[in-house]
Amino acid sequence: MNKKTIENIELKNKRVIVRVDFNVPLDENQNITDDTRIVESLPTINKIIADGGKAILMSHLGRPKGKVNLKYSLKPAAARLSELINKEVKFAPDCIGDETKKIVNSLQSGDVLLLENLRFYDNEEKNDPEFAKKLSELGDVYVNDAFGSAHRAHASTEGITKYISIAVAGLLMEKELNYLGQAVTNPKRPYCAILGGAKISGKIDVINNLFGKVDTLIIGGGMAFTFYKAKGYEIGSSLLEEEKVELAKEILKKAETSKIKFILPVDVVVANEFKNESPSQVVAVDKMPADKMGLDIGPETIKLFSSEIMKSNTIVWNGPMGVFEFDNFEKGTFAIAEALVDATSKGAITVVGGGDSAAAIAKAGLEKKVSHVSTGGGASLEFLEGKILPGVAALNNK
């Protein structure tokens, strides 16, 4: 990684404004149901405290659409962070303004402050220069530790760097870029990528970019049915992107002439309807009944995919193999997670893209047994596409 990090700068007595990703899920009583993103930010926050800096944290939460909506307040995140670091976390009722400045100016070395939701202002997502400038006035140095938002050029991720000369990566950002960067630019071979999820459309650029890089490309999940349709198979009422069938044909043709192994499922678990309790059966992919829908990969596919994973030294996984949210159709996704754990234990580098893949491996209770689980779904996808992430590009080079 050619960007400076928090390790390269002096923090003592400095106001360190940090873009974190505290976009955590809340239940109807404002209780945090998964604190992973807060936990992942702890190394950076603890370093600022230990080095005698003043940590001023900013984040978005949910989609309040540019208006104050206390349903999306970051107050619960401040309370949870306080428990995790065993120290008071002050909370500012706004992310800019005189009152917030006053709170920032009262901070002592080692103090931690969390600002209220950035997206209570639509200026944040618009990357409004005036708003970015107001945020910059709260800090002497800027740290971006929010990989999950690094693919967006927002005021707190990109605009602010125009007004603070010292702009560096946090420890989580560094970890994300190191693991994903290694997988993309210098993988230990054989290199295997597994793509799942509902749609091809969100993964086209990733597929095209990976064609020139991987040794094996495995496709699972709902997106596989568009490929089957392209092959002329019956897919019943399975998920289909009709407008992407021609594109799927092109990808299949490209796969035939390329040196990479391009692998689709060989059997699927089908059901009558999209329900956990729906009776299911396993069928070969070219023998699918017209009145059924595919909801998971089958046992032969699990064996095939797992075998390919075990032959690989770098594995990147983005997207579930089936409807893992339904307990009866989680087997394929969990089997891939288990294969990644086995590969990791034998020395492979295993990287799980954020979003649904991260949720799936967490549901399986295996997130600590792979090399790295990304905190950014969209950002990790764009990184795999070979795109430059604005929030990373804006940081100081080494």
Give the residue numbers marked as catalytic.
37, 199, 355, 378
The order of strands in the sheet holding 54-58 is: 89-92, 112-115, 54-58, 15-19, 141-144, 167-169
- Tokens standing for 99? 């009152």
Phi, psi torsion values for 301, nearest 5 degrees: -65, -40
Alpha-carbon distance of 85 to 42, in angstroms, equals: 8
235-262 residues labelled b (16+ CB within 10 A) or e (exposed): bbbbbbbeebbebbbebeeebeeeebeb
Phi, psi of 381 (to 5 degrees): -65, -45
- d(C-alpha 330, C-alpha 396), whole Å: 43
Read off the tokens for 11: 């923090």
φ and ψ at 275, to 5 degrees?
-145, 145
CA 11 vs. chain centroid, Å, equals 28
Integer Cα distance of 181 and 92 in angstroms: 36
What is the rounded distance in angstroms from the CA atom of residue 169 to the CA atom of residue 171?
7
The DSSP call for residue 266 is: S
- The secondary structure of 125-180 as a DSSP string is TTT-HHHHHHHHTT-SEEEE--GGGTTS--TTTTGGGGT-S-EEE-HHHHHHHHHH
CB 320 within 8 A of CB 286: no
- Sequence-separated (6 or more) residues with CB below 8 Å from residue 95: 58, 115, 116, 117, 118, 120, 121, 135
